[in-house]
Structure formats: C-alpha cells, structure tokens
Structure 1
Amino acid sequence: MNRYWSGFDLHSHSTCSDGKLTPSELVALAAKQGVHTLALTDHDTVSGIEEAQKAALVEGINLIAGVEISTTWSKQNIHIVGLNLDIHQPDLLEGLAIQQHSRLQRAQLIAERLSGLGVEQLFEKAAQQANGGEIGRPHFAAVLVAEGLVDHPQEAFKKYLGAGKKGDVKSFWPEIEQAVQWIHAAGGQAVLAHPLHYKMTNMKRRALLKAFKTCGGDAMEVVSGMQSHDQTHYMAQLAKEYDLKASSGSDFHFVTQWQLPGKFSALPETVAPVWLDWQEH
C-alpha cells in the first residue's frame, strides 16, 4: 500500500460540475493512479454517476455514488458531501433539483454583478465553459482569463469571485440540516467537506462541527488534498472530539502538480474511517 493514502479517494469532480475531466476520464485516471475506490461528488448533481459506474466496471475499481451539496451556516457557504447514495431516491432528487435551480439563479446574479467588467454575454460564455454541467464560479473565472481581464483563475477569485468579492453569492443555499436530511433519505452518509478551507477561527470551526453533529452529520474530511502533518493531526483530534467518522479525498478538479486522484496523506490510525460502515454490511 502507498504510504500516503489508503486507496480510497472520496471527493472528486467531473465536467458534470466544475471538473475538467468527464466521469469516464476521471475514473480512468483514478485507476491509473492506483485508486481502488473512488467517490464522484459533483456539486449539487448526481448526473455523472451512471457514466462513472460503467467506467468503473471497465477499469476494475469501485465507484461510490456521491454528491457535494452547498449549504449556508452562520452566513458562510459550507459544503456537505454525501457518500454511498441511492441516486434514484425521490427526496434526494427533489432536493438536488432545488439546488440546481438555485445554482442557475446564482450564476445569473454573478453575471449581473460582474457586468461592469465589460464582458459581453458573460453568463452565456460561462455556460459554454460549463459545457452542459452546473455553472459555477470556476467557469466565470475561465471566462475572465479568456477575455484577458486576469492572468489565471486564482487572480479571478482574488479580485472578483472569492469570499467577500462582488461575484461571491451565497444566499441561495439551504441550511446544513436540510442537506443532511436529503443524504440520509438516500441511505447515504453526510460528511463535512474540507473543514480547514473555511475562513474562520478555530473556535468558530468547533461551533460548526458541533452544529453539524447536532444535525445528524456522520463524518468529516480529516484529510482533504495536500495538507501538513500538523493539520491532519488537528483534524483527527476534532473528529474524535465530536464523535465523527473520518473521510479523505483529493477534491480533484483537474490535473496539476499538486492535484491528482489519490494524492493525499493517509488517515491517522486514531480515527475510524467512514468506509468501515460499508464494509460491515
């Protein structure tokens, strides 16, 4: 076994949301990287799951049906990953339909807020970047790069799309409890995504974990992409403190030097992996 990870990558994205690879391409790359169990967790949609499942059969790996649901807590955008879902469950599908409608409204509002930049047909160009998937801020960032307004996507977020900037729209998302209910209705496990990514104090992070647990949350991402040993140790401590199972994933969107399926450190032995529940049934 690779000393950095377990073979489970439980957070990844395809062209069905803001990833750069199709579900089939993502599965093929994951298999090449040695991943044996991959969760496809596109933002607010399960539209890529069936394609990914077919590709996983060809590649000889396990595909976990997942999703990453956007929510609001304490005026911040918080992501909840659902794992091991029945993607045909009516409550889940109804909830994701609401999310997709909210995403469309949000994208239209982002385009409206950024209209002063002088990009003609900004919304339409972002939709072209999404190529039939859900329109998100990365697609607007790609347009701003293509139009020469910024040099790279990171600059687009820093100037226009990041937290607190003109193109940062959060107001359409449900509360955490609602997302957890949709996930549980579909027989899945609710996982707090990348707790270290949120700009908040450690005290507020603890309040978030307490609220998530109170809402019925099952697990948290102890490892999310490349992070330090100290960060992993801290996340493991919090998982134990709030009695949450541990998940790990690359949060893969596209190939970079630092981002590949399966490229992240292993879970500490002190935590209980979320996948143990699946293996027991």
Structure 2
Amino acid sequence: MAVEFAQTHASSQALKQVFQKVNAQSCPRHFNFHLHTVHSDGRLHPEELIQQAIAIGLQDLAITDHHTVSGYQVAQRYLNELKLSNPHLEYTAPRIWKGVEINANLLDVDVHILGYAFDHKHLSIAPYLQRKTTTGKAYQANNVIAAIHQAGGLAVLAHPARYKRSPQDLIPAAAFLGIDGVESFYAYDNPQPWRPSATETQRVQQLARHHNLLSTCGTDTHGLSLLKRL
C-alpha cells in the first residue's frame, strides 16, 4: 500500500508539472485533459480515442469519464499493446493520465470536479467510481476533493463559468476547500475550430492566479473528434 501511494504521489506531482506548462494554445493539439468515451456519455471507443490522439500528435491527455475509470483502463491497455508492435510509439505516443469527472455540491450548485492521477483502488475514491452520482455527505465538494487527495490525486474544478453561480463565487469557495486547479481554458460556445472562450478564460485565469491554483485545459469531448466538444 505504501509503495502504491508513493507511486501515485509521484504521478500526481509529475502531472502538476505538466499542468504548469498549459496555456491558451495547448488544447486541443498538445494537451487535452477532459475527454469522454462510450464508458460514460461519450461516443468514442477508447481505442478510437487513442488512434486519434496519436494522429493529432497529442503529448498528454486524460480520459475523464463520469464516475468510472474503465475507459481509461481500456485505453491504457490498448496503447501498451500498440507500443509492443510499434516500438517507435514508445517515444511518440501521448502519455495517458487517469481521470474521472465527479458531480458535487458546491455552494448549493451541482458542479463537476475532475480527479487526476489518483489510485483508483484506494478506498476513499471507491464511492465515486460506481457509474453514478453520489448522495448525502459524499456528494459535498469538500468530501469529493478530500477523497481525491486521499487517493493521491489532484482535484480540478471543471468549466467553472458554466454553472448557476459565477466563477467569482465558485473558485474562491473551491480554493478554500483545497482544490488544486481550475479548467481555465475551455470553449463555452463550442466554436469551430475549437478555441478557449476569451472573456471567460481571462476571468478564470485571474481568479486561478489570485488563489494560486493550477490552470488546465480540455475540449470536454463527447462526440467523435478530439478537436471539439460535440
């Protein structure tokens, strides 16, 4: 158990260093930390997602299905198999980070918290990997964030300008609860081609800096292309 936690901690610290490189140009062709597959409400099979990621030239990605890591597990196994038959992929294929998207209550608003690089076998995270939203105390944002941290991972507030309360309310509240970052670079109006929404990005970035939070990016892909959301 101690060895597994040490490995998970090292993984989350490595991911934190990657997050520190993220900027407005990172997504969707360099980094993408918000992707869904058929294992939740996406349309891509994990194998298709990996094929696209390789073709695009992504460096790092995270599969963040709702309340499950099964899509990530299939994708990681598939990529490992590809590397065995295509040794050059060991150096060119993207790095896949374990992720999950969890519903939570923050300031009486249903928000989504992204968990990354955690030990999915840790007891703390188990209630959130049952393919459904939790209830009661487990549904509260402070407990979601704590569970991700106890499992050695990082917690990030997804698309913070998409809720019934403003980022100015939600981000300070999440920061107070110990969240690690916010999804600063997000396309709220689904533009073609994908690009982060300028006004919201500026506002969220300012809040992230003020509260010393990491900034991440993601297309929140639910459709058939990693280059857009739908």
| Global fold match (TM > 0.5) | yes
Determine helix, strand or coil for the equivalent of 1:48.
helix
1:29 corresponds to which of 32, 48, 52: 52
Is the 1:16–1:47 Cα contact (8 Å) retained in structure 2? yes
Which whole-Å CA distance do the structure 2 matches of 1:215 and 1:246 have between them? 17
Deviation at 1:220, TM superposition (A): 0.2
CA spacing shift, 1:262–1:78, aligned 2, 3 Å: same
* Aligned position for 1:207: 169
The correspondence of residues 133-212 of structure 1 with structure 2, limited to 5 A, is: 174-200=139-165, 202=166, 205-212=167-174
* Aligned position for 2:216: 247
Determine helix, strand or coil for the equivalent of 2:35.
coil
Equivalent pairs: percent with the same residue? 32
Once the two structures are superposed, residues 133-160 of structure 1 have per-residue CA deviations (whole angstroms, 9 ceiling, x without a partner) of xxxxxxxxxxxxxxxxxxxxxxxxxxxx
Is the 1:66–1:84 Cα contact (8 Å) retained in structure 2? yes
Which whole-Å CA distance do the structure 2 matches of 1:172 and 1:96 have between them? 16
Deviation at 1:16, TM superposition (A): 0.8
Which whole-Å CA distance do the structure 2 matches of 1:90 and 1:25 have between them? 31
Q: CA RMSD in A?
A: 2.4
Determine helix, strand or coil for the equivalent of 1:11.
strand
* Aligned position for 2:95: 62
Which whole-Å CA distance do the structure 1 matches of 2:64 and 2:133 have between them? 18
Letter paired with 2:164: K
Determine helix, strand or coil for the equivalent of 1:91.
coil
1:5 aligned to 2:26? yes
Deviation at 1:261, TM superposition (A): 2.2
Is the 2:31–2:60 Cα contact (8 Å) retained in structure 1? yes
Deviation at 1:31, TM superposition (A): 1.9
Once the two structures are superposed, residues 169-207 of structure 1 have per-residue CA deviations (whole angstroms, 9 ceiling, x without a partner) of x9897011111112112211000000111133x4xx322
Is the 1:5–1:262 Cα contact (8 Å) retained in structure 2? no
Aligned length: 187
Which whole-Å CA distance do the structure 1 matches of 2:55 and 2:138 have between them? 36
Letter paired with 1:247: T
Is the 1:28–1:55 Cα contact (8 Å) retained in structure 2? no
Once the two structures are superposed, residues 86-119 of structure 1 have per-residue CA deviations (whole angstroms, 9 ceiling, x without a partner) of 222222124423xx3547xxxxxxxxxxxxxxxx
Letter paired with 1:61: P
* Aligned position for 1:71: 104
Is the 1:44–1:67 Cα contact (8 Å) retained in structure 2? yes
Is the 1:34–1:262 Cα contact (8 Å) retained in structure 2? no
Determine helix, strand or coil for the equivalent of 2:48.
helix
Letter paired with 2:95: N
The correspondence of residues 225-236 of structure 1 with structure 2, limited to 5 A, is: 225=187, 226-236=195-205
* Aligned position for 1:46: 69
CA spacing shift, 1:80–1:30, aligned 2, 3 Å: same
* Aligned position for 2:122: 89
Letter paired with 2:67: D
Deviation at 1:39, TM superposition (A): 0.1
Is the 2:67–2:133 Cα contact (8 Å) retained in structure 1? no
Structure 1 stretches lacking a partner, 5+ long:
104-169, 265-281
CA spacing shift, 1:224–1:30, aligned 2, 3 Å: same
CA spacing shift, 1:231–1:183, aligned 2, 3 Å: same
So what's the TM-score if we normalise by structure 2? 0.73
Deviation at 1:208, TM superposition (A): 1.3
